[in-house]
Structure 1
């Protein structure tokens, strides 16, 4: 822990994937940086064990992590490429198929355990001379002043920050203490996560079937297993979690329409409540929110952490702009550059995922027929498919410098 009254230029509250990525991105700019986290990352685990929490990392996220010097370590610890996506509607029967070969790309992205990404970034931070890792530590209160923010820790110590970055998740204490309100709603769904063994090879393909109670995704792992994200209504999720392993495996196989043969549960299950949430403001003088602290999204397209990484890259770019123009790093001139660059894109993605969730949760036959027609029509229109794939991969030029092609 730091001594009482220590000051830093930038303090990042939250050392998960997005917070650690931002701290890495802010390093090397002549600023003093502190990263505050309640617990250290997991540093080792049994061979063959897969973390229940995985992310589908886009090409833009891969470029960011490469430029931060973390991707090589991530690949060493385990990153599973997926080359195709197959999506279909359980009610209407419409289908769409995405293939990286159509883009001349080696893959559509990588499935990576969250703990792998966090550890690789932490190892970079541990070797950075301008970064102090304050862990374990917990913030209980903060006081705003003209020069920044004074943070109070659980053990009574204090720390000053010219710029405080809230990267402490969707239940962000920093956001709450700053009095920043959110808008959105609970989905009345939970995402069940687990690892499974399919009878058939997954073909390095991400499979997703839209069910009336929520989408089921099978995410391919390099060793032939799959990580699942099964979003279901609270009632249906409770039923699934109460089942024994054999019964759950049977339900899962049926829900997947046996696309990979019989699916067998391999290890524990967990469930996360889902909600749509967007902070009404990302910034205040001396403070910025990034990642889930700023926005929470339905996992049906796996875009949550990718949006967070773009937040981190854009805020780092705003710091570069401020330093180049001799502006205050915590001033609104700086922070509004970040907010303007990210809020609209995030709002668009949150709205799109919310619309998809609503559309595919409705099992009324006329609507089911229309949406299935739309899926199938899109599958037959290469320019439209290309647009979707470019967006998902992060191939556009309208990205922060660290994530650009």
Structure 2
């Protein structure tokens, strides 16, 4: 039997970050994941990337992995350009005006996983098991028993479910969620453009949904996230490359010149999920298992990393009892409040920016232009987003 203090199911970025943070604090941790172990990046860009906020960067720095992540094609962006397709509204942010070296980084998710995994492999307090499934979970008032398919039992004081949006652990323990369909599908791909991106993250709000061009390390390469109505997404996916490239160029108003797909396109539906219960006995939810939001502001990964950061903080504080009920309830209360705020904000933005309603267009145009001209308010808004608060 393997005895640990925390068992984390899910070896994605959030689960690995939590594991490394706890292990560095002297907490014995086991991570299990049914998928493949992280791997070094290949020559081609991965299609799944994240916009890492300065707050998340600080977490990775504290974990001792930021330099490794940054060395794996992390692309800093110094400017943000946000505009509405059907109005004159536009807002731009600059690192220079905010006295920041950059506004954030665009990072391939696999680079984050690989750096965290390598750090965990050398930590004596951590055991990481990929290509490993569990066959049974049982909890008592004081422990959780995880039995692997191999028959090996793992006994832990806390089981953390970081196993994604369709969390099997959340379902097994009947932890209820609230959810709604955003009525959007997101298309992700890598493109090259005729003109350089100049380290600028761009987002255009179209009547059918937002399109983001995220700058990659190569000056002419971008990761795109095109969130749009399902019927439109199907039409875009059915286009050949030439047609799709033309549609991209038109949608982004030719800001970077002609576009060329350099990867396969992937599409997935967007759903808001919010767990009504984040803690049940000795089981706690984290990351996408607890919440998923619209990607229009790139907050999903950062929100999950904030879950990890708080759990690391709380579990590493001196206490008479490790992982008490009171401590877990504090984690639940604080993270639920933050998640609620961001879910509401994303829904409000989506509602405001979708459709062709003339009043909405006027509000969008005037609102964006006013914020762009109001220095102090604009800077406050920017810092909230950039620092991931």
| 1:336 CA displacement | 1.4
Tell me the SS of whatever aligns to 2:7. Answer: strand
Q: Which residue of 1 aligns with 2:337?
A: 344
- For 1:1-12, what aligned pairs fall within 5 Å after superposition? 5-12=1-8
| 1:395 CA displacement | 7.5
Q: TM-score, normalised by structure 2?
A: 0.97
Instruction: Count the aligned residue pairs.
Output: 388
Candidates 63, 74, 80, aligned match of 1:85: 80
2:53–2:388 contact (8 Å) kept in structure 1: no
Q: Distance in 1 between matches of 2:305 and 2:322?
A: 23
Tell me the SS of whatever aligns to 2:76. Answer: strand
Q: TM-score, normalised by structure 1?
A: 0.93
Q: Which residue of 2 aligns with 1:267?
A: 263
Q: Distance in 2 between matches of 1:357 and 1:41?
A: 36
Q: Distance in 2 between matches of 1:262 and 1:29?
A: 50
2:16–2:113 contact (8 Å) kept in structure 1: yes
Provide the aligned C-alpha RMSD in A: 1.4
Candidates 320, 323, 343, aligned match of 1:326: 320
Runs of 4+ in 1 over 4 A off after TM superposition: none
Report the CA distance shift for 1:203/1:351 in structure 2 as closer, same or farther (over 3 A): same
Q: Distance in 1 between matches of 2:263 and 2:290?
A: 32
Q: Which residue of 2 aligns with 1:282?
A: 278
Gaps of 5+ in 2: none
Candidates 303, 309, 317, aligned match of 2:305: 309
Q: Distance in 2 between matches of 1:16 and 1:218?
A: 24
Q: Which residue of 2 aligns with 1:365?
A: 358
1:276–1:354 contact (8 Å) kept in structure 2: no
- 1:31 paired to 2:42: no
Q: Distance in 2 between matches of 1:98 and 1:52?
A: 26
Q: Distance in 2 between matches of 1:85 and 1:363?
A: 24
Q: Distance in 1 between matches of 2:130 and 2:156?
A: 17
| 1:126 CA displacement | 0.3
- 1:355 paired to 2:353: no
- For 1:68-79, what aligned pairs fall within 5 Å after superposition? 68-79=63-74
2:89–2:366 contact (8 Å) kept in structure 1: yes
Q: Distance in 1 between matches of 2:102 and 2:292?
A: 26
Q: Distance in 1 between matches of 2:42 and 2:26?
A: 39
1:284–1:332 contact (8 Å) kept in structure 2: no
Measured against aligned partners, the alpha-carbon deviations of 1:187-221 in whole angstroms (never above 9, x if no partner) come to: 12111000111111111100100011110000011
Q: Distance in 2 between matches of 1:361 and 1:380?
A: 23
Q: Distance in 2 between matches of 1:30 and 1:377?
A: 50
Q: Distance in 2 between matches of 1:373 and 1:140?
A: 56
Q: Which residue of 1 aligns with 2:101?
A: 106
- For 1:32-51, what aligned pairs fall within 5 Å after superposition? 32-47=28-43, 49-51=44-46
Q: Which residue of 1 aligns with 2:197?
A: 202
Q: Distance in 2 between matches of 1:28 and 1:263?
A: 44
Q: Distance in 2 between matches of 1:102 and 1:279?
A: 38
Gaps of 5+ in 1: 397-405
Q: Which residue of 1 aligns with 2:146?
A: 151
2:76–2:103 contact (8 Å) kept in structure 1: yes
